[in-house]
Structure 1
């Protein structure tokens, strides 16, 4: 999700907190969902057949999410056996199964329901208009799928678990003047009685529930082709007719260049056998629905951000909402990577400029989200997006340029189609790097704040060898703790500059660095690889020296 530009979200106070079977007791394999919307009445009806595998012996109940304003008119096991459904709270229902299912056994549960949707969160389902035309769109992130369709999902305001992904069929019935878009590929369009039309979409790529969506209005749609050498993939665009002009088309079609720009550093687009697309919606920013991103405008940075989510957020999805930075930090840093690597870019200067533009205004909390009950904290722009993007920028400098992209490749290989935690990502980084990087994640992801440096220097000559004496002191808020980091030191000399790297792991710390000739000036962290709140040059302070090898 690109930075939210709309109103503050709303939620449901009821946690549906009655005891339930363990989330890990079942595996959702497939959803076959058909929905009919009535835009003029603001109502919705539908059926969802959930294919579920038991992962334990003796499973006798199955908990799913569906808000209580919906009336369940039918609940069938395996297509024919009626079962009872109990309402546990505002957001949660429980079906009593027809018998006990043992580990490895599968069953289907078909829920038929209808009602008037209530939009929660960022606008989980909105009956709206655009340019006088009806528009119905969904946006379920983080845990609001229950507001429009029954599914297995984590509880409201809880950390959740996005690892149970399922394949999907979604059919959307709407007035025939409306075109309906969703995940995956369009299998067919059926003209129905009463001037209605059904669009049938399906995806064979397992999808987390919050990434399932539909949107329906009088879209104008066009398609371009992404040629990746070994084949081609459709890239589909759906736009409001009033906004369909060459400028807006060109803005969105930049995504074709982005697909090829991201490929060398992220690998081939993860849903290459289906599609990528951008459709217009009335929400602010953008939302990375799997294979088809919703965008509220034509901003280049949003297009780059949302496309990157297809790798980092959709294919590899944060396991819990504690770990949302694994989605948003990656997509934010990808905006800067696009600036660095786009055709005609200046390269690293463009990267540094992009990261300078993405400095958080507030650093005094953790990137890791400890409180998942507060949706505004989950999606805090300074922390979950900007500071998290800086985590990756700094990690790149800590491990080195080529090794950083090796880390990304190893991370994708380990968790493609799944959902890792922060600890999982840290473990991959340490394994690929060949050194324990837990110190880095402890201070930059789990910890709070950012460093503020004071530094002073002297030039010296001993037995004909020139040295730089360097003093570094961290002066940030004491509650932040100390930051262990490698720091680049540019030494200015009359005959030219040279750069050394010191390992700053004490506070204060004094370094003695052999240099080629007398120093005339010093710049600490010249290219701002470290997220700092300040860097201030002060008078040199004597102390016990640490000798840096030449």
Structure 2
């Protein structure tokens, strides 16, 4: 997850710095295959009766597991339970022997037990959870923070607050009876059976979940919450927030009922639970978590009126709601098949966007998810069981590539067959555990299509096709020839891909003539008879194939494609290619696209391309484009202007937008771009905005990035202040990372900065600890390897363990390349500047002619 705007907040995703270099492979030394766990009993029902001791940060009570042995003669039943005090264990109200080693409780249920016999195992316990259940409250750094208690159990953290079988492969119904302070409300799974005020001033809530779900989806969220009721026909929908946030909650969650209706239609399955609640809590460790019928959300989801102008939280809301079907109703058998949870939820974000905003928003999702997946630091199969902690695989493969697999599957089957197969998959596997083969079999049974080959290459093997495409015209024969070459490396198991694809041709403004072909080899050539010489050739025009595409087209064809292509994917691609070409014609075409294209994503792509050209004409075009009305497009224009280093005219223009714009994000981008200009006055301009409050602290984060880009030593003091405990929490991780990024340009500070950053490895906020671990890698301070190894050994959150292990390994391997990397980066930057100057001179000469 990330608290920065423009990146999806989501459940479970591994938090790593976006600018980290690739660190292949995914599996680290010591990682081994993790197989599904054995089960000795079927857990039928779990009744949890607990009281929360808020002051002592403890939970105590009794959990009763109703179990049924899977085999005759079963005697010993294991439960996961970490760092607990076990007072007693009973079976049918009779005390029984047990063994407990601090991590696993083994209960002796006696001899002669029969398969199918139901037994109640009651465990009385007490715990002070270090993870899994979180006690939030005020401290010296944040004295105004309210007291709250909430659980976060994915992937296998329920064991820290509840003795249980902590694995997704067993599902059960549940009762949660929780006692809290008298002025609190406590939310849990299912339907509220009772709300009782006790004589001692406490309050007890009893929630009943009547359909089975796994242990990681159990939830308790308790605190002083106000309830906001959402409109609903059949399903009760509500939102719980602090009283000060009622208006923001109504603004943020308004589309939830419409999402429920859409997902019921798409899945063919009515919303499967008794209610749908969303509760917003402080300091949540994910973006959101899809606990059955009661999703927990980060406070960062709440929108102010200004943010609402060009931002919404629908991606996160729709993602967690989709999990109520994919993850909760149908649950992956083990984490290696976790894409059946996360890939589906990510894809349903796109389906909501398509329904609510139109097909261009859906296709923008294809562009964004492709970029995020391609930016991943390694390649791995979507389904893999080689990891240290399950959270290690909650990455861009599980989410974004998983969503793109479903997008490609839709393209392969067509809409009618795709959604029909999807509905069969949901219908046949409701309340069950699933693996990928279940989806394959449902498709085959419903459509007759055997797609084993499809899943083999896209799910069970790593990578994607890298394509080099070209086309030519034979005027004598009236033939268009298209050459397709797959250039991806295959040594890591990446295959030569098989995929159907559409190639079409167009002349003038006539209707394109399309051909459907299948690529099956490393090199292919396709020949098409046409009645006229085409002006434009398109390969996979609507982006149904995950790929990287290299295609050297003429400026004339790219201008036509940017202007006339009916697909935003083609127009955005053409814009980027024109940015590589440069020249007066490209600059004019890109300016026209920024100001006139009907989709903001294409406008933004054109603005970025102008920034790549970096000539005076491109600068002037971007300055004129500041008048663009769409805030997302204006944000891209402001970002692109940052490429014109040392330009006073740009500086004067950007100062205005740093001080005030209708969009928080434009203001943040202006602060970032001011730093990129590296002018003497930039420090004061950025510092003037540093303490201005904003949505999710995006303006401060923009200032932090701007200070790094500025490379001014005075920035260290501001970054240190932003990183301090007690400062706005959203900007603390970026500030810690920025200390290292700025430190790269001051090698004499490396040792002192490494020691300073290492202190954040013990920060109370796990996001800051992860940022510090990434910062040490950025700083390339190999002397801090022992500190990272200590972090890996003591961290309980698997994300922190992964980052510490990965970065310690990278520092051990790459410490010697520190100076080389810095020199290469500086040389590349100089080459870009020289290239821009040459382009500018060439354009001026052409203009004179």
1:271 aligns with 2:285: no
SS at match of 2:236: strand
TM-score (norm 1): 0.87
Deviation at 1:376, TM superposition (A): 4.2
Residues 355-504 of structure 1: matches in 2 within 5 Å?
355-359=366-370, 360=373, 361-362=375-376, 364-380=379-395, 382-460=396-474, 466-479=478-491, 480-494=494-508, 495-504=510-519
1:262 aligns with 2:266: no
Deviation at 1:7, TM superposition (A): 6.9
Q: Which has the larger radius of gyration?
A: 2
* Alpha-carbon distance between aligned partners in 2 of 1:64 and 1:250, rounded to the nearest angstrom: 43
Residues 84-163 of structure 1: matches in 2 within 5 Å?
84-87=97-100, 89-119=101-131, 124-129=132-137, 131-154=144-167, 162-163=168-169
CA contact (8 A) 1:51 1:108 kept: yes
* Alpha-carbon distance between aligned partners in 1 of 2:14 and 2:133, rounded to the nearest angstrom: 14
Query: Closer, same or farther in 2 for the Cα pair 1:411/1:500, shift >3 Å?
Result: same
Query: Closer, same or farther in 2 for the Cα pair 1:262/1:190, shift >3 Å?
Result: same
Deviation at 1:66, TM superposition (A): 1.1
Query: Closer, same or farther in 2 for the Cα pair 1:506/1:41, shift >3 Å?
Result: same
Deviation at 1:492, TM superposition (A): 1.9
SS at match of 1:478: coil
Partner in structure 1 of residue 754 of structure 2: none
Higher relative contact order (CA 8 A, sep 6+): 1
* Alpha-carbon distance between aligned partners in 1 of 2:14 and 2:206, rounded to the nearest angstrom: 30
Pick aligned residue for 2:548 from 525, 529, 533: 533
Gaps of 5+ in 1: 9-20, 155-161, 540-550
Pick aligned residue for 1:183 from 177, 189, 202: 189
SS at match of 1:253: coil
Deviation at 1:399, TM superposition (A): 1.2
Q: For each residue in 1:446-485, what CA deviation from the matched residue of structure 2 results, as whole angstroms up to 9, or x when unmatched?
A: 11111111122233478xx843322110112233221111
Deviation at 1:516, TM superposition (A): 4.3
* Alpha-carbon distance between aligned partners in 2 of 1:353 and 1:271, rounded to the nearest angstrom: 30
Partner in structure 2 of residue 49 of structure 1: 64
Deviation at 1:6, TM superposition (A): 8.9
1:307 aligns with 2:301: no
Query: Closer, same or farther in 2 for the Cα pair 1:53/1:375, shift >3 Å?
Result: closer
* Alpha-carbon distance between aligned partners in 2 of 1:3 and 1:317, rounded to the nearest angstrom: 15
Partner in structure 1 of residue 363 of structure 2: 352
Residues 275-294 of structure 1: matches in 2 within 5 Å?
275-282=275-282, 283=284, 284-294=286-296
Q: For each residue in 1:232-260, what CA deviation from the matched residue of structure 2 results, as whole angstroms up to 9, or x when unmatched?
A: 22112111123222x32131131011111
Pick aligned residue for 1:523 from 538, 544, 550: 538
1:511 aligns with 2:536: no
SS at match of 1:233: coil
Query: Closer, same or farther in 2 for the Cα pair 1:515/1:102, shift >3 Å?
Result: farther
Query: Closer, same or farther in 2 for the Cα pair 1:28/1:4, shift >3 Å?
Result: closer
TM-score (norm 2): 0.57
Query: Closer, same or farther in 2 for the Cα pair 1:7/1:334, shift >3 Å?
Result: closer
1:75 aligns with 2:89: yes
Partner in structure 2 of residue 542 of structure 1: none
* Alpha-carbon distance between aligned partners in 1 of 2:175 and 2:89, rounded to the nearest angstrom: 19
Gaps of 5+ in 2: 1-8, 17-35, 139-143, 303-312, 555-849
* Alpha-carbon distance between aligned partners in 1 of 2:165 and 2:435, rounded to the nearest angstrom: 20
Q: For each residue in 1:308-330, what CA deviation from the matched residue of structure 2 results, as whole angstroms up to 9, or x when unmatched?
A: 11111111111110011111111
Partner in structure 2 of residue 2 of structure 1: 10
SS at match of 1:490: strand
Q: For each residue in 1:45-67, what CA deviation from the matched residue of structure 2 results, as whole angstroms up to 9, or x when unmatched?
A: 01011100112111111111111
SS at match of 1:118: coil
RMSD: 2.2
Higher strand share: 1
Range moving further from structure 2, 517-526 or 207-216: 517-526
Higher helix share: 2
Partner in structure 2 of residue 211 of structure 1: 217
